[in-house]
Amino acid sequence: MTPFPISEASPVAFAGPPPRETDVVVLGGGVIGVCTALFLARKGRRVVLCEKGRIAGEQSSRNWGWIRQQGRDPFELPIMVEANALWTELASQTNVDIGLVRSGVTYLAQDASGMADYAAWLPHAQAQGVDSVLLDKRDLARRFPELAKAGFAGALTTPSDMRAEPWVAVPALAGIAVREGAVLVENCAVRTLDLVGGRVAGVYTEAGRIACSDVVVAGGAWSSLFLRAHGVSIPQLSVRASVGATEPVALPHAGAAAGKGFAFRTRADGGASLAAGGYHEFFVGPDALRALPKYGPYLKDNPFGTRLLPGAPKGYPDAWGTKRHWAGDEVSPFEAIRVLNPKPNSRRLQRVARDVERVFPEVGPIRYRSIWAGMIDVLPDVVPVIDRVASVPGLTIGTGMCGHGFGIGPGMGRVLADLVCGDDPKHDLNRFRLSRFTDGSPMELGPAL
């Protein structure tokens, strides 16, 4: 069985070296960067993806493995519907079983207030032709009798939602990208942009300069640090989320489900991935202090969903001692930590296991075979930045997926490829514009589902 998650100890699959010239350089080998490289190659562009550590080494192999349309921001939803179809198409183009299963996603409501929130979101699904259904207590008992035994007020369920094994799926997508002409290079940090007359002329990597006319920043938790060094400021922060993989367990749902304080999805090995739904941990650093005013609406909406921790470990993107400025011929912070591998919150994960055992006593004792954590890139309105940077011609940003990136990755990759090429992205991207943080727009939160 493939070890998970991917880490710095994982073998290098794409050793390079990078070419000295290309059309587009993509920074970051997570699902967004990999899918962007794939669709750029399909559009006939020469593309080089540089990853400072390992493909999918950070959050792209550490996430829950959900591929969900359910609960998405209304402006994300059309892209996610496209992504849902693309996952099925791409899974058939690799000789690797990525664990893709159309097993549905179900949200469980504790009370009438939760049902009202689900009902308010449902019209967005109906407008996009998504098969989401609101289940009252009686419907829940008929459709998911094992879930209904726990006394929930009802549920929102989307049968067409899927799941996959992220530590297998993202490297498999990388394989498709390489077969279609993209060049992927691991252990190759991009240190700085090379700007000539204010526009992109290339990048300086630890392996030397690559000439190019376009750069896509899809660096996840590292994006803000890289962009700020070039005068582009986004209020992106990173939060720690812990996940556990259980030994085989008979859960009362074949797909993914979430209730108060817990979330789970079944896996191909008979176990499940468990996490604390709606809970994450945040290391306070200098970017946090700068961005705090933007996060006011989020903190007001979810005051108990974030645990504050004093300071990030040495070398993390927003650690107090992390360098903010460096030259292209200097070792950068991106080389100091090849793969973010935060220590998981084992106590919280044990609590999640106990909560699941309490709600569903028939599953018996839950034992973890492995636990891990990842750093999720977040923005104050819980939607990403997908935009060209007007002040730096040739620079495109695809970051801040807010924990939603794995599922939507193929759709966002296709959109970013169109943006780079000046083509119609086929979706309304105004919600994701960079300028929303500086043009006086209020922070409008995405659905807290």
Predicted local confidence at residue 186, as pLDDT? 98
CA atoms within 13 A on the CB side of 60: 32
Q: Determine the Cα–Cα distance for residues 425 and 418; give it in Å rounded to an integer.
A: 5
Predicted local confidence at residue 304, as pLDDT? 53
Q: Residue 17, Cα to own-chain centre: how many angstroms? A: 27
pLDDT at 401 over 80: yes
180 phi/psi in degrees, rounded to 5: -95, 10
Q: Determine the Cα–Cα distance for residues 80 and 367; give it in Å rounded to an integer.
A: 33
**What does the pLDDT average to over 373-377?**
96
Residue 442, in any domain of the structure:
no
The mean pLDDT value of the chain amounts to: 95
Q: Determine the Cα–Cα distance for residues 66 and 163; give it in Å rounded to an integer.
A: 5
**What does the pLDDT average to over 373-402?**
97
Q: Determine the Cα–Cα distance for residues 198 and 426; give it in Å rounded to an integer.
A: 29
Contact 264, 356 (CB under 8 A): yes
Place 1 in a pLDDT band, splitting at 50, 70 and 90: very low
List alpha helices for 144-187, DSSP H.
145-148, 166-179
Predicted local confidence at residue 263, as pLDDT? 97
Residue 253, in any domain of the structure:
no
Task: Compute CA distances 195 → 137, 199, 204, whole Å.
Answer: 60, 5, 10
Q: Residue 160, Cα to own-chain centre: how many angstroms? A: 20
HEC letters along 215-236: EEECCHHHHHHHHHCCCCCCCC
Q: Which domain holds residue 427?
A: 24-98+164-241+314-342+375-437
Residue 65, in any domain of the structure:
yes
pLDDT at 373 over 50: yes
Both tokens of 92, joined, read 């058939």
Where is pLDDT greater, at 188 or 16? 188
**What does the pLDDT average to over 80-104?**
97
Contact 208, 21 (CB under 8 A): no
Contact 28, 222 (CB under 8 A): yes
**Sheet bearing 199-205, strands edge to edge:** 190-196, 199-205, 208-211
List alpha helices for 326-404, DSSP H.
333-336, 346-359
Per-residue pLDDT reduced to its tens digit, 58-80 = 999 999 999 999 999 999 999 99
Instruction: Say how many domains are in the chain.
Output: 1
- Among 163-167, 188-192, 308-312, the minimum mean pLDDT is found in 308-312
Q: Determine the Cα–Cα distance for residues 70 and 161; give it in Å rounded to an integer.
A: 7
Residue 113, in any domain of the structure:
no
Residue 334, in any domain of the structure:
yes
**What does the pLDDT average to over 429-447?**
93
Q: Determine the Cα–Cα distance for residues 24 and 214; give it in Å rounded to an integer.
A: 5
Per-residue pLDDT reduced to its tens digit, 196-255 = 999 999 999 999 999 999 999 999 999 999 999 999 999 999 999 999 999 999 998 999
Instruction: For residue 341, give every residue at least 6 positions away whose Cβ sits within 8 Å of its Cβ, in sequence order, or none.
Output: 7, 8, 372, 373
Instruction: For residue 144, give every residue at least 6 positions away whose Cβ sits within 8 Å of its Cβ, in sequence order, or none.
Output: 106, 135, 155, 157, 252, 253
Helices 166-179, 31-42: crossing angle, 10 deg rounding: 20
Residue 15, in any domain of the structure:
no
Per-residue pLDDT reduced to its tens digit, 255-313 = 999 998 999 999 989 999 999 988 889 888 998 888 888 887 877 777 557 888 888 99
For residue 289, what is the enclosing H or E element?
A: helix 286-291
Residue 68, in any domain of the structure:
yes
CATH code: domain of residue 84: 3.50.50.60
Per-residue pLDDT reduced to its tens digit, 302-345 = 755 788 888 899 999 999 999 999 999 999 999 999 999 999 99
Per-residue pLDDT reduced to its tens digit, 99-115 = 999 999 999 999 999 99
User: Rounded to two decimals, what is the model's pTM?
Assistant: 0.97
pLDDT at 57 over 90: yes
Residue 402, in any domain of the structure:
yes
